[in-house]
Structure 1
Amino acid sequence: MRIILFDGICNFCDASVQFIMKRDNGAFKFASLQSDIGQELVARHKLQGIDSIVLIEEDMAYTRSTAALRIAKRLKGLWSFLYIGIIIPKPLRDPLYDLFAKNRYKWFGKKDACMLPTKEQRARFLA
């Protein structure tokens, strides 16, 4: 199972989950970082202080730009070609990711509570 953990109060993160769900052919399950299951998975994978996207794949946890690129690899259409960015060394990719992540609330805003999935989407979210 592939699980994406995301910031449930971030507007950009919510929009990203919606974007992924339309293009992943059901490849991913989702949980917010703020949820009980999200916190359990963060603890299990020893991801202290994490507030970025996390991809758990085959019991390995990927964060930041590596998570984003590995997710893109599974999307239909031309989005999968973004995975080519994995050849850029992580010390060059992650600072760009961090700059975006640091400003995501300022640029896109945040919510008071996590999103409520539609009836059709509920099966894709871990309780």
Structure 2
Amino acid sequence: MTAVSRFVISLLFIAAGVNHFVSPDMYLKIMPAYLPWPLFSVYVSGFFEMAGGIGVAVPKLRRAAGWGLIALLVAVFPANVEMVLHADRFPEIPFWALVARLPLQGVLIAWVWWAAVKRVGATDE
């Protein structure tokens, strides 16, 4: 089950990271106005999502990548708050879904920790 979770996490973060470069406008809409260099920030977060996704798939990099993804998930949380505070920018997304993203971030953090950071027995599978 852990191997499947790692595979899914890798795919999700790599795909999300690629999407930052393919569709940056979507991410620019959720960037809080107080953050400088919005487009650069979108690209940097996309790069680190891809790097983390790849790292989770590589046993020697897995724990570091997991910690990096957890840090990234914490760092991008203000964008989720921004979506709730400015729901009018996202008429295609139901308000309940925007609100649901807030606790979902905690679930993602726990999932990454369980699949990539937590040591399994004496070895790291």
Q: TM-score, normalised by structure 1?
A: 0.30
Structure with greater helix share of residues: 2
In our comparison, the structure showing a higher alpha carbon Rg is 2
Q: TM-score, normalised by structure 2?
A: 0.30
Higher relative contact order (CA 8 A, sep 6+): 1
Structure with greater strand share of residues: 1
